[in-house]
Structures are given as structure tokens and as C-alpha cells.
């Protein structure tokens, strides 16, 4: 597995050399290209100046932030470079918490943490302590010129690092339309809903039961096209369902 970051986990006077690996590999990218319908030639994106109606080279492009309508503050490369966090090769542990204290909405990307060398005792000691106590280590580190806050937890026979969203990045659920207009729920509706949930309940969740059907069907279609097979496209018929009240819908689902 390819290493994407090397450094160490640091807490107190303890330093644990580690490596980071991507824990998730997206299987959704098939590689579509935008083509000209007339001759199937790939479309190119151009940096276009709307004022002078012409293409602009990279040398003539700067970065700016709009501070008022059509008024921009321009940033020089040196200014932006000075704002970036200094390069570091250390994940500094700042606190230890119970894993359940982290709201799932803060979870961002996950990475495997591996030991940097064979028989790294401190690595496995940290893993065992976190596992036995059901706790997570909260740390800070810099990767690819960006500063992250992260949670480190025991995972199977190793450690898992999850980068976390900052609090100010989380949107407010109260801003959703009609979220505060909770209607009165009848006892019958609640009981029927509980029965339906009980019917769907499973003892254990198995993610392998689920697949991206669009990707699977797309790969089958690509295989047929490469073999020159005739493709028949069936139009999906949409039936208009008669609207039922909530109690009728719950009863019909049981």
C-alpha cells in the first residue's frame, strides 16, 4: 500500500514513528470525458477573459477575493505562501476523549496509521490502550500545506486516523425549511412505525450487502460496447401512485 505521509505521533515525551495510508479507494470513477457531439473530439477548458474576449495564459493570472461587487483584493504568491502552516512531520496529541463524544457529522476523511518499522512496541501499546479504554486521541498535524484536527482510534489490528471538520464548517440544521413545524403524532402512527422498524431491523450491519448499482450496470454496458453488441435502451415507465394517508401507508408496509 502506498504511503501518503510519514512522521510521528507525539504525546508527552513519547514519539511513535508512523506512516499514513488512504483507507478508502473510490471505485466510482469510470473516466468520462466531455466530447464534441459532432466528431467525438475532447472538449478543452480555456481561461477566458470576459472583458477582452480572449484566452489568458497562466502567467497573466492572479488570485483574488471579491470584497464588494466587481471589486477584488489581489493576493501575491508570497502573501499566500506566508499564510500557509509550516511543514511538520508530527501529529501532536492534545487530548484524550471517549470515542462516543465525537458527533459523526464532524467525520471527514479516514486513513490507516501503520508503524514505520517492524515490532514498533510504542505503536501497539497506544493501540491496545485506546482499544481497552474505548477512547480516542485528538491531535493536530499538517499534511499537504493544510492543518488538520484529527481523531486516532484503535481499528482491527492497527490504528485509524479520521480528519475532522471544524465546528464553523458545520451548517445549522435549524436553517432547514419547516424543521420546527413538528406535527402532532398519534399513538397509532407511532405504534405502526415501531412495528415497521422492527420488521426491518437486523442484528448486525453488513456493508457488503450494498453495491453501487449504477457503477455495476455501467461497467456491464462498457463491456458490451467494446464487444460491439447491440444495446437496447428501455424507457422506464413511471406509474403515478395514489396518495395514501400516513396510517394507510404504514399498514401497507407491514
**The pLDDT value given to residue 17:** 96
Mean pLDDT of 74-103: 85
> Confidence band (pLDDT; 50, 70, 90) for 251?
confident
Give residue for cell 475532522.
Answer: 164
More confidently predicted of 188 and 248: 188
Give 91's contacts (C-beta < 8 A, 6+ positions apart). 7, 8, 9, 10, 18, 139, 140, 141, 150, 152, 161
The tens digit of pLDDT for each residue in 204-229 reads 989 888 887 877 777 788 787 777 77
Specify the pTM.
Answer: 0.76
- Interhelix angle 246-253/187-200, rounded to 10 degrees, is 30
Check pLDDT > 90 for residue 101. Answer: yes
**The pLDDT value given to residue 67:** 87
Provide the greatest CA pair distance for the chain.
Answer: 69
The tens digit of pLDDT for each residue in 135-144 reads 999 999 999 8
> Confidence band (pLDDT; 50, 70, 90) for 128?
very high
User: Cβ atoms within 10 A of the Cβ of 90, count?
Assistant: 14
- Mean of all residue pLDDT scores within the chain: 88
Of residues 112, 127, 251, 126, the one with CA closest to residue 192: 251
**The pLDDT value given to residue 246:** 78
**The pLDDT value given to residue 233:** 64
> Confidence band (pLDDT; 50, 70, 90) for 230?
low
The tens digit of pLDDT for each residue in 38-76 reads 888 988 888 889 888 899 998 889 888 888 888 988 888
Give the CATH number of domain 5-26+84-169; options: 3.40.190.10, 2.40.290.10, 3.40.640.10, 1.20.120.1200. Answer: 2.40.290.10
Per-domain boundaries in the chain: 5-26+84-169, 187-253
Amino acid at each position: 500500500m502506498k504511503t501518503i505521509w510519514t512522521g510521528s505521533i507525539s504525546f508527552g515525551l513519547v514519539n511513535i514513528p508512523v506512516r499514513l495510508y488512504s483507507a478508502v479507494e473510490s471505485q466510482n470513477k469510470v473516466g468520462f470525458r466531455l466530447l464534441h457531439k459532432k466528431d467525438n473530439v475532447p472538449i478543452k477548458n480555456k481561461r477566458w477573459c470576459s472583458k477582452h474576449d480572449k484566452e489568458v495564459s497562466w502567467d497573466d493570472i492572479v488570485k483574488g477575493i471579491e470584497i464588494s461587487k466587481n471589486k477584488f483584493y489581489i493576493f501575491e504568491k508570497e502573501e499566500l505562501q506566508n499564510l500557509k502552516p509550516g511543514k511538520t512531520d508530527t501529529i501532536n496529541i492534545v487530548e484524550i476523549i471517549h470515542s462516543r463524544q465525537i458527533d459523526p457529522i464532524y467525520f471527514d476523511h479516514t486513513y490507516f496509521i501503520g508503524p514505520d518499522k517492524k515490532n514498533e512496541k510504542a505503536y501497539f501499546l497506544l493501540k491496545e490502550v485506546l482499544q481497552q479504554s474505548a477512547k480516542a486521541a485528538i491531535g493536530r498535524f499538517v499534511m499537504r500545506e493544510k492543518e488538520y484536527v484529527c481523531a486516532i482510534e484503535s481499528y482491527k489490528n492497527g490504528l485509524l486516523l479520521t480528519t475532522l471538520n471544524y465546528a464553523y464548517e458545520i451548517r445549522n440544521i435549524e436553517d432547514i425549511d419547516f424543521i420546527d413545524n413538528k406535527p402532532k403524532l398519534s399513538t397509532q402512527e407511532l405504534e405502526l412505525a415501531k412495528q415497521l422498524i422492527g420488521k426491518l431491523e437486523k442484528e448486525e450491519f453488513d456493508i457488503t450487502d450494498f453495491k453501487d448499482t449504477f457503477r455495476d450496470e455501467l461497467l456491464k454496458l462498457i463491456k458490451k460496447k467494446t464487444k460491439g453488441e447491440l444495446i437496447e435502451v428501455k424507457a422506464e415507465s413511471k406509474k403515478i401512485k395514489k396518495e395514501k394517508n400516513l396510517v394507510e401507508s404504514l399498514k401497507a408496509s407491514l
